[in-house]
Chain A
Amino acid sequence: MFNITLEKRPSDSKTMSYLSPLFAVILTLISGGLLFSALGQDPFHALYTFFIAPLTDVYGWTELGVKVAPLTLCAIGLMLCFKARIWNIGAEGQFILGGLGGGYIALELLEAEGFWVLPVVLFCGALSGLLWGALTALLKTRFGANEILTTIMLNYIALNWLLYGVHGPLKDPDGFNFPESALFSDFATLPVLSDDYRLNISIFFALFAVAVVWALMSKTLLGFQIAVLGEDKAAARFAGFKEERLIWFVLLACGALAGLAGVSEVTGSVGQLNPYISPGYGYAAIIVVFLGRMHPVGIVFASMLLALTYMGGEMAQMDLALPKSLTGLFQGMLLFYLLACDLLISYRIVRKPAARAIGSSSNSAQA
């Protein structure tokens, strides 16, 4: 056997919790390099193409912002849920419902003119996401149904609902029978920051949400209650916190934020409803939360990295003729390495077997 073993640290290492994402990224890059050479590519050139080439000009950075906005909005909502130990996997469905609900209103208001149109559309999108989140909250608090499974089922239902919409009632009558809606009017389109780029004001929604959630978690009693509920349910009950109301709050907030991300996407860079309005942002946001150490600032940086994996996948497809699904592979690897490295937060590697028993303490996870 190896001459090393794991020893539990007296207390969790804060340094390691910051270093772990870095290790995970390095390990992902090394594995990616090995993978590229196995595919007959020059690993350095391929890694450059995937991770650096997309960001060599201003256009690249604005495109990064286009993807950071929805990722951050979804992730910041998920963070609230995960802080409370509510395993909400439903950001994807809430994102789609936000797009579908907001998009439906935008299509109803095709002929409408005025600057009130966009706020109404955005509001309806966020509301649709919120209602989808409310369904999970209802199932969780009223019936005690496991939220992991209900949210995943709701994701599939949301996707099929969107497909029904674009294949059926919301299909563009002049669209040559493609499963797409009509293009939204200019009054229902998010303004771009500069006419040369696609980056729109949704990036400000994301940054605003980050600031609000950061203030909520670090400055308010509500944030404190959410954190306590996640850390120690019994303590939260003992302190008289209203568990059900906290669960409702985090799920509604996440639903509204993911819904806003969805409606911003369809009224922003997509401009209509089609079956592909989400390239899996809601799932990638889960990785963002873990990678960002469940901290609002960390989430912004993690969103940038995950956004980069989407751009890298497109770049690799164009320049290296590799499949675009490379994106999902890199995202999966990243999360896996992160979970493995997170072990170093509560354990350290020691050379010889420890003389004393480590103990079978039920450390129910640090993630």
Chain B
Amino acid sequence: MDFELFTNILFATLRTGTPLILIALGEMVCEKSGVLNLGQEGMVLMGAALGFIAAVVTGHAGLGIIAAILAGMMMSVLFAFLAVTLVSNQVATGLALTIFGTGLSGFLGAGYVGMAIDGIAPFPIPFLSDIPVIGKVLFSHDPLVYVSWVMFGLIFWCFRSTRLGLIIRAVGENPEAANAIGIPVMKVRYGAILFGGAMAGLAGAYLSLVYTPMWSEGMSAGRGWIALALVVFASWKAERILLGAYLFGAASILHLVLQGLGFEASPNLLAMLPYGATIIVLVIIASDAAKAKLSTPLALGRPYRPQV
């Protein structure tokens, strides 16, 4: 394998991992507050569809990103209203959000299938991108890759050393106790769910405006679900989400690697790899059940009804 190919593979790994990082970080914050939102896939699709539509209609990819974030947040409000305010079953509601989002995005985007746009151009960071190899791998990306790093930094810092991080964790571990010391549990959960929605929407925009600048029905291809597994795999730690997402990114672009080594394989068979890898990861997580239990937010998935 020649050197340039190796650089390209690393570059593509980072690109492929980025949407997973965005979704998984959003879901991690949501789960830290004790809410399990299985609607990631639906929110990502809505972000991808509306982001693309807005970019086509306005001609500005930037506005597309804003529309995608708003779309993700609107979807998450639906979830929050049902799961937090109306204390519905979080698993069923999350599934409903995915089914609804898949349907709605397919409906809204139906007239935009097959259209092409320029997408968001790469933004090589001056000077840094001139460094051999590292410059290409790390600093020649589109802006959203850098955004994913900034979000990672912020969330890492938030849960490591801020009051806000403590509050979110308190709500996710023991909402009754959090309420007793005056933390507005419902508001915190709403906030965490909205943040998760915004991140999922942003990931959708990444898919339809950067990764493959086009819209097609169901284009997220299960990334929302893979991200859910990633959060558990990372035991709710931001730095491990980053690592895990890039590992998945590498698995997803294995066809590049195989081509580099001179192998030919069916693209459909290779497309199974990230899903197979997810199953293996799920088995590994489950085999260490005691440890997984230790890091799971205690009140995850448990509805909370405030005392009147």
B45 to A: closest C-beta gap in Å = 11
Please tell me which one of the listed residues B97, B106, B268, B302 contacts residue A168 in the complex, with CB atoms under 8 A apart: B268
Q: Are B100 and A333 in contact (CB under 8 A)?
A: yes
Docked Cα-Cα span, A18 to B287, in Å, equals: 42
B278 to A: closest C-beta gap in Å = 5
Q: Are A150 and B308 in contact (CB under 8 A)?
A: no
Name the B residues within 8 Å of A361 (CB-CB): 305
Docked Cα-Cα span, A160 to B266, in Å, equals: 10
From A309, which residue of chain B is reached at the shortest CB distance? Answer: B103
Q: Evaluate whether A146 and B282 lie within 8 angstroms (CB atoms) in the complex, with A329-B103, A340-B86 already known.
A: yes
**8 Å CB contacts to B: which residues of A138-162?**
139, 143-146, 148-150, 152-154, 156-157, 160-161
Q: Evaluate whether A164 and B269 lie within 8 angstroms (CB atoms) in the complex, with A145-B282, A336-B82, A340-B88 already known.
A: yes
Which of the segments B50-58, B137-145, B221-229, B256-264 contacts the partner chain?
Answer: B221-229
From B270, which residue of chain A is reached at the shortest CB distance? Answer: A160
Q: Evaluate whether A336 and B286 lie within 8 angstroms (CB atoms) in the complex, with A149-B225, A164-B268, A328-B107 already known.
A: no
Please tell me which one of the listed residues A5, A161, A356, A365 contacts residue B91 in the complex, with CB atoms under 8 A apart: A365
- Kindly state whether residue A218 has any CB partner on chain B within 8 Å: no
- Kindly state whether residue B96 has any CB partner on chain A within 8 Å: yes
- Kindly state whether residue A270 has any CB partner on chain B within 8 Å: no
- Kindly state whether residue B93 has any CB partner on chain A within 8 Å: yes
Which of the segments A94-102, A207-215, A251-259, A319-327 contacts the partner chain?
Answer: A319-327
Q: Are A339 and B269 in contact (CB under 8 A)?
A: no
- Kindly state whether residue A61 has any CB partner on chain B within 8 Å: no
B41 to A: closest C-beta gap in Å = 9
Q: Are B302 and A339 in contact (CB under 8 A)?
A: no
A324 to B: closest C-beta gap in Å = 8
- Kindly state whether residue A363 has any CB partner on chain B within 8 Å: yes
**8 Å CB contacts to A: which residues of B289-308?**
289, 301-308
The B interface is mostly helix, strand or loop, or mixed, namely helix
Please tell me which one of the listed residues A6, A156, A324, A354 contacts residue B221 in the complex, with CB atoms under 8 A apart: A156
Name the B residues within 8 Å of A153 (CB-CB): 222, 225-226, 229, 275-276, 278-279, 282
Q: Are A143 and B110 in contact (CB under 8 A)?
A: no
Q: Are A139 and B279 in contact (CB under 8 A)?
A: yes
Docked Cα-Cα span, A74 to B100, in Å, equals: 20
Chain A, interface residues (CB within 8 Å), range: 35 or more
Name the B residues within 8 Å of A164 (CB-CB): 266, 268-269
B213 to A: closest C-beta gap in Å = 21
Docked Cα-Cα span, A154 to B102, in Å, equals: 19
Chain B, interface residues (CB within 8 Å), range: 35 or more
Q: Evaluate whether A339 and B92 lie within 8 angstroms (CB atoms) in the complex, with A145-B279, A150-B282 already known.
A: yes
Please tell me which one of the listed residues A160, A323, A332 contacts residue B269 in the complex, with CB atoms under 8 A apart: A160
Docked Cα-Cα span, A327 to B107, in Å, equals: 9
Docked Cα-Cα span, A150 to B175, in Å, equals: 30
Q: Evaluate whether A325 and B282 lie within 8 angstroms (CB atoms) in the complex, with A149-B228, A153-B222, A156-B272 already known.
A: no
Name the A residues within 8 Å of B283 (CB-CB): 139, 143, 145
A249 to B: closest C-beta gap in Å = 21
A205 to B: closest C-beta gap in Å = 26
B264 to A: closest C-beta gap in Å = 12
Docked Cα-Cα span, A327 to B101, in Å, equals: 12
Q: Are B272 and A157 in contact (CB under 8 A)?
A: yes
- Kindly state whether residue A123 has any CB partner on chain B within 8 Å: no
- Kindly state whether residue A203 has any CB partner on chain B within 8 Å: no
Known: A167-B266, A336-B100, A367-B88. 15 other contacts (CB 8 A): A5-B308, A139-B283, A146-B286, A150-B279, A153-B225, A153-B279, A157-B272, A160-B269, A167-B268, A168-B268, A331-B103, A336-B82, A339-B82, A339-B88, A367-B89
List residues of B whose CB falls within 8 A of some A CB: 38, 78, 82, 86-93, 95-97, 99-104, 106-107, 110-111, 175-176, 217, 221-222, 225-226, 228-229, 232, 266, 268-269, 271-272, 275-276, 278-279, 282-283, 285-287, 289, 301-308
List residues of A whose CB falls within 8 A of some B CB: 5-6, 87, 89, 139, 143-146, 148-150, 152-154, 156-157, 160-161, 163-164, 167-168, 283, 286-287, 290, 323-333, 335-336, 339-340, 342-343, 353-354, 356-367
* Among all A-B residue pairs, the 6 with the closest Cβ atoms: A328-B103, A365-B89, A332-B100, A323-B110, A325-B106, A164-B268
